[in-house]
Amino acid sequence: MKAVPIGLGVALPKKCLQNADLPHELNTSDEWIIQRTGIRQRYLAEGEETTASLATEAARKALADARVSPQDVDLIIVGTVTGDYTFPSTASMVQKNLGVTRGVAFDVSAACSGFVFALDIADFYIRQQRANTALVIGAETFSRILDWTDRTTSILFGDGAGALLLRAQDETNRGVDFCRIYSDGRFSEYLMTTGGISTTGNAGFVVMSGREVFRFAIEKFCEALNELLAANDMKINDVDLLVPHQANIRIIHKLIEISGIDEKKVVINVDKYANTSAASIPLALNDAREAFFSGGNTVLLSMGAGFTWGSALIRL
Ligand code: UT7
């Protein structure tokens, strides 16, 4: 049994903030941000827009894309670290919003690797025949855990959501072929929040040792890509579409340089959305949806707080 992607949907908040419109007190510039990160703008949730509302919109679009009824869904996994409530899970909120009353829904906490972690788990459930129709969602509202006086973090992130609908199919070569997820808690302090429910009693703000995260991201992207290629008897030229987590254009350029992949095969959209954490990979997949659904080997690469990292190979 294999997990085959049959629908994809995304959602963005209405408000789009250009670099030039960031608060003056941050003492930053459009030029610095573009040169050092590639980011030009980001979408920010306002008012009633939340992680669950964005996730629900993305899920509805994925279902409509595949012409599948919400009643068919029996697994919902949301990768997020910015859920609406401490509990219930954001996945439970999505389940309620969609009117789904069966199966199971839960969140996965792996920061920017959340989507790949969720995909790996959904793939496992489908292979084990424990689920038939799964929504794998990455959704975040990082703007709500940013310190808007800290120019080293606040300029980097944006909000959004993306959902991939998977269906179990027998006797097919298509679908999720390979997934690996990893973490190494020794590096947890390099990228974290200043608080949490059991420590400060509030969510805290994002703090990051940018240079260490930068170095680690390149190292783990390359390691994960090499492992995936070797395990599937592939060369870099066999990859038709590469979708790395979108944190910094310089990290992606380094990955292109080291791996030798044709850069036309690599999705880059960090300029439009900034770093949307778990939403970044499905947003990027959607920007390349024609190439993704038209067939070939798509590789996903993630890296995030924890540290966490992972890879996936999807053949369509
Ligand atoms: O999604 C999880 C993964 N996250 C990431 O992958 C993020 C990885 N890290 C990065 O993307 C980069 O390290 C940053 C974009 C965060 C920082 O870029 P950098 O080239 O590593 O800059 P830096 O931290 O070494 O800072 C260089 C200078 C410093 O000034 P001095 O000390 O040289 O005078 C900073 O104070 O740039 C200054 N700076 C800024 N200047 C204007 C830092 N942030 C800003 C800013 N505007 N927003």
Render pLDDT for 171-180 as a digit per residue (tens, 0 to 9). 989 999 999 9
According to DSSP, the residues that pair with 134 across neighbouring strands are: 75, 166
C-alpha 69 – ligand 1 centre gap (Å)? 45
With residue 62 as reference, give the H or E element that holds it: helix 51-66
13 and 154 fall within a common domain: yes
158 and 139 fall within a common domain: yes
Contacts of 48 (CB under 8 A, 6+ apart): none
Instruction: Fill in the amino acid letter for 11.
Output: A
Q: What is the average pLDDT value for the chain, to the nearest integer?
A: 98
Banded model confidence at residue 30, pLDDT cuts 50, 70, 90: very high
The domain boundary, picked from 169, 192, 223, lies at 169
pTM (2 d.p.): 0.98
Q: What is the pLDDT of residue 93?
A: 98
C-alpha 268 – ligand 1 centre gap (Å)? 20
152 and 190 fall within a common domain: no
Q: What is the 3-state secondary structure (H, E, C) of 137-186?
A: EEEEEHHHHCCCCCCCCCCCECEEEEEEEEEEECCCCCEEEEEEEEECHH
> What CATH number does the domain containing 220 carry?
3.40.47.10
CA angle (272, 278, 284) in 5-degree steps: 40
7 and 142 fall within a common domain: yes
219 and 164 fall within a common domain: no
114 and 212 fall within a common domain: no
Q: What is the pLDDT of residue 267?
A: 98
- The binding-site residues of ligand 1, defined as CB within 6 angstroms of any ligand atom, are 28, 32, 36-37, 112, 151-152, 155, 210-211, 213-214, 217, 247-248, 251, 275, 303-304
124 and 247 fall within a common domain: no
According to DSSP, the residues that pair with 302 across neighbouring strands are: 310
Q: Whose CA is nearest to atom 21 of ligand 1?
A: 211
Give tens-digit pLDDT for 194-252: 999 999 999 999 999 999 999 999 999 999 999 999 999 999 999 999 999 999 999 99
Assess contact for 220 and 277: CB atoms under 8 A.
no
β-pairing verdict for 297-304 and 241-244: parallel
Domain of residue 310 covers 175-315
Our count of domains for the chain comes to 2
The domain boundary, picked from 117, 145, 169, lies at 169
196 and 248 fall within a common domain: yes
User: In this structure, how many other beta carbons lie within 10 angstroms of the beta carbon of residue 88?
Assistant: 16
Assess contact for 139 and 51: CB atoms under 8 A.
yes
